[in-house]
Amino acid sequence: MLHQHSAWPAGRPAPPVGPAGAGALNARGWTSDGAAVEHSIEVRDVHKSFGSFQVLRGLNVGFVDNAITTVLGPSGTGKSVLLKHIVGLLEPDHGEVHVFGKDIWKVSEEERFQLRKRFGVLFQDGALFGSMNLYDNVAFPLRKHTKLSEDAIADRVMQRLKEVGLERSLSKAPGEISGGMRKRAGFARALVMDPDVVMFDEPDSGLDPVRTSLLNDLILQMHAEHGGTYILVTHNIPTARKVSDYVAAVWQGRLVHYGPTEDAFASDDPFLRQFLSGDSAGPLGMD
Ligand SMILES: Nc1ncnc2c1ncn2[C@@H]1O[C@H](COP(=O)(O)OP(=O)(O)O)[C@@H](O)[C@H]1O
Ligand SMILES: [Mg+2]
């Protein structure tokens, strides 16, 4: 599970090419000449309803490995539900979720549990344990999932806390620090197991523009240092523009766009244009 740092050159990773001299990725995560691209995270035709309400309606997406993809889309469109499917917390009614080449619902519970360890997840508020100080919060996954000695754990925890600028706050409780610091602590915890995939669900919600910008810098810096496939759900368009290599757009339970960030911002697609500009005129209404 150790990252090969040399595998992630600086700058934006090139889109993967398929086996048969393939072209650009289209919205379904396939190359333009129809060849399938290998992705560590692949969602195939996933449908999910809650009661009679259809949330995901045939969602297909393959996330580009070792790149940062932002997932954009209106509220209530199924972005968080998508993340929960990827990490195996929700099971599709129909369709498949493949992670690292395995259909997560066709493996044993034990194997699914092992696969989940390769993910780091940062939810909105950092989801820290209120009764533990920051050090113990960051150490928690290591104590739970590894047999590392407390000395080895201390090395890793201190390294992560330093990277997010919290080494001097290690004995503080989450309730004693600011929202921005809680997110950084959550980020340190999400990275402590050296995950191959890091998912952020609206990490910038509730942060002022300056703290959002600092968090974005931190995301870029950590990605440059550790590599990995980052999937970031955000409503913040400047965040999407600044941090992402690729933009995925979800609307009405389906993927409507996946491509390099600059293409998304230059696109003529009415949905993308309206969503990226925050315009009230366009296909998006209040429903
Ligand atoms: N566990 C659940 N039970 C019932 N409804 C849910 C559940 N999770 C999500 N939903 C509904 O699914 C829709 C999509 O939710 P979500 O993925 O959270 O949207 P968003 O794109 O804003 O992240 C919402 O209408 C939400 O109320
Ligand atoms: Mg959400």
Task: Encode pLDDT of 107-125 as tens digits.
Answer: 999 999 999 989 999 876 6
| pLDDT higher than 50, residue 154 | yes
Judged on CB neighbours under 10 Å (0-12, 13-18, 19+), 108 is exposed
Nearest 5°: phi and psi at 115?
-60, -40
The percent of residues in the chain predicted with pLDDT above 90, rounded, is 60
Centroid of ligand 1 to alpha carbon of 110 (angstroms): 27
Judged on CB neighbours under 10 Å (0-12, 13-18, 19+), 176 is exposed
Judged on CB neighbours under 10 Å (0-12, 13-18, 19+), 183 is buried
Pocket test for ligand 1, best of 47, 79, 80 (most atoms within 8 A of CB): 80
- Structural domains of the chain, ranges and CATH numbers in brackets: 25-118+195-277 (3.40.50.300)
Which range of 39-53, 116-130, 259-273 scores highest in mean pLDDT? It is: 39-53
Which protein residues touch ligand 1 with a CB less than 6 Å away? 50, 55, 73, 75-81
Q: How far is CA 91 from CA 32, 50, 53, in A?
A: 30, 12, 16
For residue 232, name the pLDDT band (cuts at 50, 70, 90).
very high
Q: Are 234 and 72 in contact (CB under 8 A)?
A: yes
